[in-house]
């Protein structure tokens, strides 16, 4: 399907779905737009790139701090890399204390839970970094596509004719 035919089809589909024409010349003075039921202001999701960066940074900082502070499996590691908690579990088990197995299980469960939280922090940080970059690229692409050949902005009335 060529671009022109696909574009024509999309415009026709949009025209069929459009029951009322809206023309937006500027953002409302209160910084938001739209309305809810009975004229009440609708709660729109608004996220600024600075917000995304701050949340992503906090997730990154938490990841680093948690990785250092919550590593009980590797804390006090000997020359073989076995942490002091696991060394204590082995020593207790070697002396027939059932607490040794319980301590070993506790360290394993704790390590698993810490790894899960670390993965989530990394996922949040990486996803927000990606989202910030992707939306910035989308904005740049939209801005570039809404320019005339001479670089001037496409007028609102011209955009309106494109979607009719």
Give the tens place of pLDDT for each residue, 33-82: 444 444 445 555 566 667 777 888 888 899 989 888 887 777 778 888 78
Which residues does residue 153 pair with via DSSP β-bridges, in sequence order? 147
Contact 41, 35 (CB under 8 A): yes
Contact 42, 34 (CB under 8 A): yes
Which distant-in-sequence residues (6+ apart) come within 8 Å of 14 by Cβ? 163
Contact 97, 35 (CB under 8 A): no
Contact 72, 107 (CB under 8 A): yes
pLDDT value at residue 131: 76
Q: What is the mean pLDDT of residues 128-143?
A: 78
Longest dimension (CA), the chain: 85
pLDDT value at residue 39: 47
Residues 81-106: tens digit of each pLDDT: 788 888 899 999 999 999 999 999 99
Question: Is the pTM of the predicted complex or chain greater than 0.95?
Answer: no
How far apart CA 23 and CA 13 sit, in angstroms, is 19
How far is residue 155 from each of residues 30, 49, 141, 146, measured CA to CA in Å? 24, 27, 17, 9
pLDDT value at residue 104: 92
Tokens found for residue 124: 């949040």
């Amino acid at each position: 399907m060529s671009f022109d035919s696909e574009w024509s089809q999309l415009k026709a589909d949009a025209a069929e779905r459009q029951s009322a024409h809206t023309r937006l010349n500027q953002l409302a003075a209160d910084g938001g737009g739209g309305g809810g039921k009975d004229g009440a202001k609708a709660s729109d999701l608004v996220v600024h790139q600075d917000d995304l960066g701050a949340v992503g940074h906090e997730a990154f900082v938490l990841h680093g701090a948690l990785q250092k502070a919550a590593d009980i499996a590797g804390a006090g590691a000997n020359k073989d890399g076995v942490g002091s908690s696991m060394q204590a579990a082995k020593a207790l088990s070697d002396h027939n204390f059932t607490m040794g197995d319980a301590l070993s299980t506790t360290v394993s469960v704790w390590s698993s839970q810490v790894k899960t939280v670390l993965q989530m922090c990394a996922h949040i940080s990486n996803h927000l970094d990606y989202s910030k970059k992707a939306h910035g690229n989308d904005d740049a692409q939209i801005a570039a596509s809404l320019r005339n050949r001479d670089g001037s902005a496409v007028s609102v009335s011209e955009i309106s004719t494109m979607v009719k």
